[in-house]
């Protein structure tokens, strides 16, 4: 099992997607080795007070290597063929957590160290 250290990470902005929200900003949490360890989505929503946005922060908490038996079960369960193994990794089990936070946009920018309106 690998404990995840998020101290050497940075946000990469994602653009070019369709959304039903007036404000919908997204980022991927990348490490120095260019692996992804989380995501952040900040959106507007009609049920929030004026000036407030909702943030969804999902991050990897630990990574556990799978045994050969677990890998075979994954292949059978998802009907993965040999060509798909070149694209999808089945070597590890990823545990994640998601935090939902509602706050004014400037508080979210400070909390996550991102710029929502750029």
With respect to residue 68, please indicate whether it lies within any of the assigned structural domains: no
With respect to residue 76, please indicate whether it lies within any of the assigned structural domains: no
Spacing of C-alpha 81 from chain mean position: 26
pLDDT tens readout for residues 72-95 = 888 888 888 877 776 777 888 889
Calculate ∠ Cα 48-22-29, nearest 5°: 85
What whole-number distance in Å separates Cα of residue 54 and Cα of residue 48?
8
Q: How confident is the model at residue 4 (pLDDT cuts 50, 70, 90)?
A: low
With respect to residue 85, please indicate whether it lies within any of the assigned structural domains: no
With respect to residue 38, please indicate whether it lies within any of the assigned structural domains: yes
What pTM, to 2 d.p., does this model score? 0.80
With respect to residue 50, please indicate whether it lies within any of the assigned structural domains: yes
Domain tally, the chain: 1
Contact residues for 41 (Cβ-Cβ < 8 A; gap 6+) = 24, 25, 26, 27, 55, 56
Which contiguous run of DSSP H or E holds residue 94? strand 92-104
Q: How confident is the model at residue 7 (pLDDT cuts 50, 70, 90)?
A: confident
Domain that holds residue 22: 2-61+96-112
With respect to residue 45, please indicate whether it lies within any of the assigned structural domains: yes
């Amino acid at each position: 099992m690998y404990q995840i250290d998020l101290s050497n990470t940075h946000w990469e902005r994602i653009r070019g997607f369709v959304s039903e929200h007036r404000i919908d900003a997204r980022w991927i949490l990348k490490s120095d080795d260019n692996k992804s360890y989380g995501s952040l989505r900040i959106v507007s929503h009609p049920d929030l007070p004026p000036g407030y946005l909702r943030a969804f922060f999902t991050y990897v908490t630990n990574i556990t290597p799978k045994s050969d038996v677990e890998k075979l079960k994954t292949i059978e369960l998802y009907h993965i063929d040999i060509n798909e193994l070149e694209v999808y990794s089945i070597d590890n089990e990823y545990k994640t957590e998601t935090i939902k936070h509602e706050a004014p946009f400037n508080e979210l920018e400070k909390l996550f160290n991102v710029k929502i309106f750029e």
